[in-house]
A and B are shown apart, each in its own frame.
Chain A
Amino acid sequence: MDSSDEAWRLDPLARVLPAVRPRKLAKVPFVELAEGRLQGVVSSGSDIERVYVSSITAGSHGLSCSTNNNRPCGGLNGGSLCKHLQSLAEEAVQQYGLDRVARYLKVEVPEGSSLAAALSGSRDPAPAAAVFSRFLRHLAYLEAPASTAAEPEMQWFRGAGAVV
């Protein structure tokens, strides 16, 4: 362990998370690495009221895509990604970086290749309702009123710095 590692260990404001890269949210408003899956919500291209819940399971790379009312996505057949899953994979890489997504899904992505191309799973429906409710919970943060109360713990959170 060198001295900069030691300084990082002992720095109460050590930076742990990388800076978030801004991404367009219109197509894929929600992406997360949780519950053993890369999962998220993809807006339907044709119907503003409809969203698709898409996920890729870590390890097995099982693919799942359906509407929030549990109607299977017609574009997901066999082992190839539907356009929703492709968007999900692209936006996850944009948000978290390829390394973190690949590590979570336990997939080797050869240099110059894409995450979607490196996946070898097949269709394996996962529960859409749970992911959709996590998306609603995510959106609910925006409904919480701002607070003027003391939150001194925020001093530990300095953001990740600007992406230059």
Chain B
Amino acid sequence: MRGAQLAALLEQAPAGVPEALDLVSGFDDLLEHGLARIGQGRAGALAAIAGALEGTPLGSPAHEAVAKLSAGSVSREHLVTLAGARAALLGAAHDALLEHCDAALERTRGAWNQSPSAAVGTGPGEAVQAWLQELAVTGWRGLDQGHVDGADRLVEALLADPGGRRLAVLLDGLAAELRASVPIGPAACVPTRRWADLWSRAMLLARQATNGAGDTEPVTGRLLPLGVDVLEHGTAVQVLVYGVLETPTGTPRLVRTGVTAAKTDTISGPAVWRLLTAFPLLLTALAQQRSLELRDVALTADGRLLWDEARAALGEVADPFATARVLLPGVLAPAAAPLDRHPVALNEPVLVEGYKTAGGSWTVDGRNLRIEVDRLPATGPLTPALLKASTACIGVLRHDGSGWLLRPLAVQAKSKNSSTAYHGGDWALGPTDPKVVKAESKSGDPVAVLRERAGRLLRR
């Protein structure tokens, strides 16, 4: 990313985004205090959301839902409609931000060309919606342990069905945060945007019949990883690889692929890689900076490779910084899937070089770029000190509601006279830092301990 590109990204903010987010805040405020306490002020905020959607297919259902809720009648369908209205506003904010980012980076993006699926499901989804409705009526500030414990049996039922897993992972993540926070005192601060996001996602996901990947196309070619992010909460961890796919014909494509494993809250840090031993090729490619040769791997319309070890082979060593320098400027980026459009989904891989580091903000050609130094995954070697000593960084640009920031995935850092590269996936086959190896051997291998316990106690 050149200085001029960063300037274009930071200098003009797309119009309408703060206004859209303000409307969303009106809904979020309602969830904080509970639908049972909807006053005139909050009813007005809801009406504004419906007003903003006037003229869209959601306009009239949103008006009806707002009228009913304001009159004190709460139904599941009206809550789903409002969750959809909220998602539409955030989707619009996402689109504006992505378009702005593409223009600044001079990045070309494909168009979405799939028809929507109208299938609506039943099953555990209805029980989940009933639970979410109870949370909404009570409000975050009114919740007690009893409300939160209700999530346990829902998650259990969802996990029994492979199609329910995505929703289970989401509910488990939300419930763990609520459990640690309730009862919330009147003076305490509430993460209103975050919990409303998770609540709305769950409400909409519970309504979907399937979580299928939609139409996919088989692709054959070479995957050159750029970097890896590790996302986790107490009972799930996702390894998300950003890369460039070179095919025999056509423009190199920006893609991502990933695997998600279930875990316990006591397994974290470098130990999580041991949950992914079913994917030795992917882990080896990450640990050794190798490319991957793919044969007929399914690629979704939103640029996700459905990872399949049986259709992959390890390729040559491929330096991600070389990939970022040579291929990233000309890649074709994928369109976002309609239901996934949300500012949080913005994660645009970029290479940043020639900067001056200073804590959480780097200077590139006189412009300040905020750096996410405090949320580095504990699964890899990146630390604030390494970032400080770095001279080049591969990261993803994201937007946190108030502005753009860079989440680092890999850095080149100077030590003495040489420059060394550090990648988030360096420890995929085990930590390479002696200090980390020592700390791990001291606390023991949590995966092995729990698997031993599971083997002895589960199958009786």
Interface residues of A (CB under 8 A from B): 1, 5, 7-17, 19-20, 22-26, 29, 33-36, 43, 48-49, 51, 95, 100, 135-159, 161-164
How many Å from the CB of B152 to the closest CB on chain A? Answer: 8
B454 contact set on A, CB distance < 8 A: 139-140, 142-143
Return chain B residues, CB-CB under 8 Å to A141. Answer: 235, 262-264
Q: Are A9 and B169 in contact (CB under 8 A)?
A: no
A49-B456, A159-B232 given as contacts; is B194 within 8 A of A20 (CB)? no
Q: With contacts A29-B449, A148-B307 known, is A159 near B268, CB below 8 A?
A: yes
Please measure, in the bound complex, the distance between the C-alpha atom of A127 and the C-alpha atom of B262, giving whole angstroms: 28
Does A146 lie within 8 Å of B278, measured CB to CB? yes
Residues 240-276 of B contacting A (Cβ, < 8 Å): 240, 257-266, 268-269, 271, 275-276
Q: How large is the interface on B (under 10, 10 to 19, 20 to 34, 35 or more residues)?
A: 35 or more
In this complex, what residue of B is CB-closest to A135?
A: B457
Q: Which of B192, B231, B279 contacts A159, CB < 8 Å?
A: B231
Selected interface stretch from B4-12, B113-121, B172-180, B360-368: B172-180
- With a cutoff of 8 Å between Cβ atoms, the chain A residues found around residue B192 in the complex are 9-10
Bound CA span A15–B162, Å: 29
- Which residues of chain A are near B377, meaning CB under 8 Å? 158-159, 162
Please give me the residue from chain B that is nearest to A35 by CB atom. B149
Across-interface contacts of A35 in B (CB, < 8 A): 149
Evaluate contact between A158 and B231: CB separation under 8 angstroms.
Answer: yes
User: Known: A22-B443, A25-B449, A146-B278. Is A1-B149 also a contact (CB below 8 A)?
Assistant: no
Assess the B375–A156 pair: CB atoms within 8 A. Answer: no
Q: Which A residues are in CB contact (< 8 Å) with B376?
A: 161-162
- Closest CB in chain A relative to B192 CB, distance in Å: 5
Q: List 29 A-B contacts (CB under 8 A).
A: A9-B189, A9-B190, A9-B191, A12-B343, A13-B400, A14-B194, A22-B439, A34-B179, A136-B458, A139-B450, A141-B262, A144-B262, A146-B259, A148-B259, A148-B260, A150-B304, A151-B169, A151-B236, A151-B238, A153-B170, A153-B201, A153-B205, A154-B233, A155-B344, A157-B173, A159-B375, A159-B378, A161-B375, A162-B383
In the assembled complex, which residues on chain B have CB atoms less than 8 Å from the CB atom of A9?
Answer: 189-193
Bound Cα distance A35, B148 (Å): 10
Q: When the two chains form their complex, are residues A14 and B444 in contact, meaning their CB atoms are under 8 A apart? A: no
Q: What's the nearest-Cβ distance from chain A to residue B98, in Å?
A: 14
Does the CB pair A142–B262 fall under 8 Å? yes
Complex Cα distance A162/B231, Å? 13
Total A-B residue pairs with C-beta atoms closer than 8 Å?
213
- Beyond A24-B444, A141-B262, A146-B259, whether A29 also contacts B453 by CB under 8 A is yes
Q: How far is the CA of A70 from the CA of B228 in the complex (A)?
A: 47
Q: Quick one: closest B residue to A161, CB to CB? A: B375
Q: Is the beta-carbon distance between B264 and A142 smaller than 8 angstroms? A: yes
Q: In the bound complex, what is the Cα–Cα distance between A153 and B169 (angstroms)?
A: 8
B392 sits at the interface (CB 8 A): no
Question: Nearest chain-A residue to B282 (Cβ)?
Answer: A148
Q: How far is the CB of A155 from chain B (nearest CB, A)?
A: 5
**Do A153 and B263 contact each other (CB < 8 Å), given the known contacts A9-B189, A11-B401?**
no
**Distance from A84 Cβ to chain B, minimum over Cβ atoms (Å):** 16
Checking B170, B211, B450 against A29 with a beta-carbon cut-off of 8 angstroms, the contacting residue is: B450
- B193 touching A162 by the CB < 8 A rule? no
Contacts of A151 in B (CB 8 A): 165-166, 169, 236, 238, 260
Contact A12 B278 (CB under 8 A): no
- Is A20 touching B231 in the complex (CB atoms < 8 A)? no
In the bound complex, residues from chain B placing their C-beta under 8 Å from that of A13 are 194, 344, 375, 400
Most A CB within 10 A of own CB, among B25, B261, B279: B261
Measured between alpha carbons, how far is A100 from B21 in the docked complex, in Å? 33
**A29 closest partner in B (C-beta):** B453
Q: Which of A26, A140, A156, A158 contacts B198 (CB 8 A)?
A: A156
Compute how far the CA of A143 lies from the CA of B383 in the bound complex, rounded to whole angstroms: 32
Contact, CB under 8 Å: A36 / B145? yes
List B contacts of A11 (CB < 8 A): 191, 193-194, 400-401
B415 at the interface (CB under 8 A from A): no
Q: Which residues of A contact B304 (CB under 8 A)?
A: 150
For window 392-428 of B, CB contacts with A under 8 Å fall at 400-402
Distance in Å from the Cβ of B121 to the closest Cβ of chain A? 16
Flag if B378 contacts A162 (CB, 8 Å): yes
A156 touches B197 (CB 8 A): yes
Task: Quote the shortest CB–CB distance from A94 to chain B (angstroms).
Answer: 10
Q: Are A33 and B443 in contact (CB under 8 A)?
A: no
Q: B220 contacts the other chain (Cβ, under 8 Å)?
A: no
List which B7-40 residues lie within 8 A (CB) of chain A.
21, 25
Among A19, A100, A150, A159, the residue within 8 A (CB) of B180 is A100
Name, among A17, A23, A150, A164, the residue most crowded by chain B CB atoms within 10 Å (CB to CB): A150
Chain B: CB-nearest residue to A33: B179
CB contact list, B435-455 vs A, under 8 A: 439, 443-444, 446-447, 449-451, 453-454
Query: What mask results when residues 351 to 388 of chain B are scored 1 for a CB within 8 Å of chain A, else 0?
Result: 00000000000000000000000111110000100000
